[in-house]
Amino acid sequence: MERFDAIVVGAGPAGSSAALTLARKGFSTLLVERGRAPGVKGMFGGRIYAWPLADLVPEWAKDCPIERLVIRENLAFLTEDASLTVSFDSPKLAQGRGTSFTAVRAKFDAWLAKKAQDAGAMLVTGIRVDDLWREGGRVRGVSVAPNDHVASDLVVIAEGAASTLVREAGLKADLEPREVSVGIKETVELPAETIQERFGLGEKEGAAYVYAGHASMGLRGGGFLYTNKASVSIGLVVSSEDLSRKKVEVQDLQTKFRMHPAVQRLLRGGKVVEYSAHLVPELGAGMMPQLSTDGVLVVGDAAGFLINNGYTFRGVDLAIASGIAAGEAAEAARSAGGMSKVNLAVYEKFLRARNVLTDLERFRRAPLYMKNERLFDVYPRMLMEIAERMYTVDGSGKERLFDVVLDEASAAKVPKLKMLLDLLHGAGSM
């Protein structure tokens, strides 16, 4: 039987980061990917916060397949036909550890997996690992078919949101609808010059948009848009509970979102060249599996490491950081005598050292806050009415801003105390 010190299942950002770290620390490492190449099955909105890459590959900026460095953040509220956008522009957004960039997963994942291979990890693609291989009740490797087992002291589960191995390992029960959203994304092709002109960007500069309100047609969720080199990634993340309860098809929502005047303006003349959809872990710290057991560590989306606090969507950075932490934990466990549950528990400490668990815990209440349906319907509408009255001059007599706000707040038919509580609750959880 083939044997390795460690087997990593899934060559996404979490898996390749774990494999790279493990290989560097002298573990013979096998990285197994289900797709025919790393990244072909990967799906995400489109932006990566770079900070953990600086730790993993200090020279990352030299050859990392970056589409554009994000220099402008936009938060847009939509009603049926109007939009209100808050835009933040700063060169600081693209400097130092705070840098973020847009990327295409097929290129980025291939790049990171290659780094792991260069460090000595063996990459095997086109194989789906269905099961853990056990001996004497303990995980001893992975199993693909009845006569196809590969042994290892450690299995790192990096399978993504719909991980079956996490359940196989007994670390988590089945996913529940409330724990996941559906992410849907279209890639719209546009010439690089058009993107630069339309979005007011330099050659290497990019913009990110978060859409709230009518983007998801009153369902809990939101929209996003990222500029790549010669394409735009646009999509929605919508509560799967709401989709099934209201019997709405997510692709219909996406089409309507794309046709919204404020969005359409940005995509004019573009051609949809790619379409993808994926589960998005939604509850962060509230849905975390047990992160380690005898011979097993869980990283990335499989561990629910995703933060959506309403204005930043983080997944890939937490995935990379957790991959590094898994490698560090394996090294510590090896020094302590082996990959036992007790020794691997140190993984949490390394996750905390990189602020992964700390950030997840800090925003633990954000998903609950964002379950509040008023956020997706009443408040954006109110905001838009206020903006409309602020900016409309038609000789019918102007009101002071304060009166407009009070008037609209009453018209929204939500008790003022409730509004105040929503506001405070939001500030506290986001």
Residues in touch with other proteins (CB under 8 A)? 1-2, 30, 32, 122-124, 126-127, 129, 142, 144-145, 147-150
Q: Please, which residues have CB within 8 angstroms of residue 410's CB and are 6 or more apart in sequence?
A: none
Q: Which pairing describes strands 68-78 and 205-213: parallel, antiparallel, or unpaired?
A: parallel
Q: What is the largest CA-CA distance in the chain?
A: 84
In angstroms, what is the minimal distance from the CB of 2 to other proteins? Answer: 5
- For other proteins, the closer of residues 122 and 412 by Cβ is 122
- For other proteins, the closer of residues 22 and 319 by Cβ is 22
- For other proteins, the closer of residues 20 and 238 by Cβ is 20
- For other proteins, the closer of residues 150 and 237 by Cβ is 150
Residue 312, phi then psi, degrees to nearest 5: -130, 135
Residue 364, phi then psi, degrees to nearest 5: -55, -35
- For other proteins, the closer of residues 127 and 405 by Cβ is 127
In angstroms, what is the minimal distance from the CB of 408 to other proteins? Answer: 49
- Residue-wise DSSP of 359-426: HHHHTTTHHHHTT-GGGGTHHHHHHHHHHHHHH--SSS----HHHHHHHHHHHTTS-HHHHHHHHHHH
In angstroms, what is the minimal distance from the CB of 63 to other proteins? Answer: 24
**In 79-214, which ranges are E strands?**
83-89, 100-102, 122-125, 131-135, 138-145, 148-157, 180-189, 205-213
In angstroms, what is the minimal distance from the CB of 107 to other proteins? Answer: 20
Note whether 142 and 131 are within 8 A (CB): yes
In angstroms, what is the minimal distance from the CB of 123 to other proteins? Answer: 8
In angstroms, what is the minimal distance from the CB of 122 to other proteins? Answer: 5
Note whether 226 and 208 are within 8 A (CB): yes
Please state, in angstroms and rounded to a whole number, the distance separating the CA atoms of residues 67 and 226.
10
In angstroms, what is the minimal distance from the CB of 148 to other proteins? Answer: 4
Please state, in angstroms and rounded to a whole number, the distance separating the CA atoms of residues 115 and 134.
30
- For other proteins, the closer of residues 147 and 392 by Cβ is 147
- For other proteins, the closer of residues 113 and 123 by Cβ is 123
Please state, in angstroms and rounded to a whole number, the distance separating the CA atoms of residues 290 and 344.
12
Please state, in angstroms and rounded to a whole number, the distance separating the CA atoms of residues 412 and 403.
14
